[in-house]
Structure 1
Amino acid sequence: MPARPRNSRLRRTLLAALVATSVAAPVSGAARPAAVPAPVPAELAPLWNAAPGTLDARYAATRDEIRAAERMAAGHGDRRRAAALRDMAAPHRRFLLFDGRDGGRTAEVFGDLAQAERIAVLVPGADTNLDRYWRLRNDSAALRRKLGPKAAVVAWLGYETPATVSPAALTTRRADAAAPGLARFADGLHTARPAARISLLCHSYGSVVCARAAPGLRGVAALVLYASPGTGAGDVRALHTRATVWAGRGADDWVARIPHTRLSLPFVSIGFGRDPMSKEFGARTFEAGTGGHSDYLKPGSLSLRNLARIVSGTAPSGRGRHA
């Protein structure tokens, strides 16, 4: 009997190490970019009116913010960041928000938001920032092409994402900080476009952000968790959302090997608990094909096709499970 506490501590330590190793190993070598100075952005009016004229004014204001950040990056000697910001400030690109500090905050629109009948908000995971923004942009553009002209996609990089190889990627703290902003943003979209079907597509650590925001989401029809390490919630009911919750995972995604456990340690909990793909979690599941962790929105993939069908309000193809 006296050996039980010791065995319990040993098990917790081993599980914590296993979680850390499973998350970090596939992407070892990833590093956070050095801080690049950027100006404090001007405060924008709430996103409550998606009339074309109002949106055009907002896009122009954020373009001015990006150009100011470009000048500061160039003055700092970071030519790579300055070139990326110069491209972001191009007249054909449209941002609802921009903040160049702490890795960057953006919300870029693909499609005509003022006329959209379907809106998908992509919420990215770890190691997404201005220096690695191209992947989120490419994914958003691919989804927009698949959805067609009556849809809009918003690439929402609205929080400071954790580095994949870091303690922050193993806890909900960054997600807890990000969740209120995501809920406000989704609420603004719903107020602006009340007749539009809004879906949140939440990749990897982004699924933790969406889960923490779920109780505050209004007018969101679908909450899609893909490549998810877990959510920090035991099941769909614990998310306290009216949205239909979907989960999908590619056959070659390394996140499937993460132990789905949650360890309560002094001052912090590590891990995200039950697998969203499990029957016990209670989400509807969809087929995501054979792709890996970053392949879900790859053109021509089954996962892209099914994600587009969920956003459109139609049943995904394949042998997914309905809750």
Structure 2
Amino acid sequence: MTRAAGRPAGRPQGRLEGRTAGRRAGRHPGRLRRTLLAGLVAAAVVFPVSAAAPPDVPAPPPAVLAEQAPLQARYAANRADLAEAGRMARDAGRTGRAAKLRAMEADGTARFLAFDGRGRGRAVEVLGDLETADRVAVLVPGSDTTLDTYQRFRAGAVALQQRLRAAHPRSAVVAWLGYDTPGTVSATVLTADRADAAAAELGPFLARLGRAAAPGARLSLLCHSYGSVVCARTATGPEVGDMALFGSPGTGAGSAAELPTGARVWAGRGGADWIGHVPHVRLGGIGFGTDPVDPAFGARLFAAGPGGHSDYLKPGTTSLDSLTRIVLGHDPEVPHA
């Protein structure tokens, strides 16, 4: 669940609170289910469906390298795939996708651990020197993050890396678009199906990343919106010290203690984030349950300032400062009561 700039078309529907929610759940389960769906969808209508590329966008299959392949060889192979995907898109008349891929190439030095230009696409980019980094942040995005919207996601990674580098030169950020994100206006965004599939990929990736970074490197998972559902379902090893959930619709778990991680779990929400109005309930496989910023969830709360759903990694924000401190192993400012 990501939000483009601008205001939502309408106010979120179906807000459920306290005892009223419990009574409705008992007396009118069908009505509550419809209310939940309406509320989630109404709050989520924030990005044009047309932004998603059709599934037949031409591109070469991803490069296949041995796990022990040097990072520089991996970067070179994926840069070549990126360039070829841009050429194929241009030749097929997909000028919009071709332009997006040219932007991803930047000055020809972009470093991708993985790249797949087919369909909506996947990309895992490294900002900073991974081999010397002892502080590594892994950003996991929410819905409607594709190769066509990648620069918006990348901008947050760049802002975070600039803050980290200023405070701790041996740091790196990994922008992990390593899963097929759900569409914002779709049934998939209301369930954990995409998150379960993504978590099965993210867990092993984190273990490999820990081996690729500097010895003893500390990894942090920073998870936005639907990405927080992914992170909350990802089994992590000792290399992951912190998990931060922000702009979260919920995780599907009742408490932080239920998550399959030994990391410290943090949660924050901006004062103007519309997702706070989404009903934090779960019926069957629909919805994500307890709000991570609810004290009952048991996460450590961090100050996220007055920003909206797309503002957490913007330069100069309280939320960016808090997330930087979490990655560096410091306690961030707590939100005011």
2:233–2:260 contact (8 Å) kept in structure 1: no
Is residue 154 of structure 1 aligned with residue 170 of structure 2? no
Residues 19-69 of structure 1 deviation map (CA, whole Å, 9 limit, x = unaligned): 3344334x16443332312121121222x57xxxx2211110111111121
Letter in 2 for 1:133: Y
User: What residue ranges of structure 2 are gaps of 5+ in the alignment?
Assistant: 1-23
**CA 1:301–1:12 in 2, change beyond 3 Å: closer, same or farther?**
same
Q: Which residue of 1 aligns with 2:136?
A: 119
Q: Which residue of 2 aligns with 1:19?
A: 39
**CA 1:95–1:21 in 2, change beyond 3 Å: closer, same or farther?**
closer
Q: Is 6-15 or 72-81 further displaced after alignment?
A: 6-15
- Matches of 1:62 and 1:97 in 2, distance apart? 6
Q: Which residue of 2 aligns with 1:220?
A: 240
The aligned runs of 1:3-152 (5 Å cut-off) are 7-25=27-45, 27=46, 29-31=48-50, 32-35=52-55, 36-46=57-67, 54-89=70-105, 90-148=107-165, 149-152=169-172
Letter in 1 for 2:286: I
Alignment partner for residue 186 of structure 2, among 166, 181, 184? 166
User: What residue ranges of structure 1 are gaps of 5+ in the alignment?
Assistant: none
Task: Quote the RMSD (CA, aligned, Å).
Answer: 2.0
Alignment partner for residue 196 of structure 1, among 214, 217, 226? 217
Letter in 2 for 1:95: F
**CA 1:45–1:19 in 2, change beyond 3 Å: closer, same or farther?**
farther
- Matches of 1:319 and 1:227 in 2, distance apart? 15
> Deviation at 1:222?
0.4
- Matches of 1:320 and 1:233 in 2, distance apart? 25
**CA 1:28–1:186 in 2, change beyond 3 Å: closer, same or farther?**
closer
- The TM-score, its normalising length taken from structure 1, stands at 0.90
- The TM-score, its normalising length taken from structure 2, stands at 0.86
The aligned runs of 1:259-270 (5 Å cut-off) are 259-264=279-284, 269-270=285-286
Residues 241-300 of structure 1 deviation map (CA, whole Å, 9 limit, x = unaligned): 110000000000000000000111xxxx11001000011110000000000000001101
Alignment partner for residue 186 of structure 1, among 174, 198, 206? 206
Letter in 2 for 1:93: A
> Deviation at 1:158?
0.2
Count of paired positions: 307
> Deviation at 1:145?
0.4
Letter in 1 for 2:60: P
- Matches of 1:199 and 1:320 in 2, distance apart? 24
2:290–2:297 contact (8 Å) kept in structure 1: yes
Letter in 2 for 1:250: G
Alignment partner for residue 209 of structure 1, among 227, 230, 237? 230
- Matches of 2:25 and 2:181 in 1, distance apart? 36
Letter in 2 for 1:294: S
Q: Is 33-42 or 162-171 further displaced after alignment?
A: 33-42
Q: Is 31-40 or 121-130 further displaced after alignment?
A: 31-40
User: Quick one: percent identity of the two aligned structures?
Assistant: 52
Q: Which residue of 1 aligns with 2:293?
A: 277
**CA 1:234–1:68 in 2, change beyond 3 Å: closer, same or farther?**
same
> Deviation at 1:93?
1.0
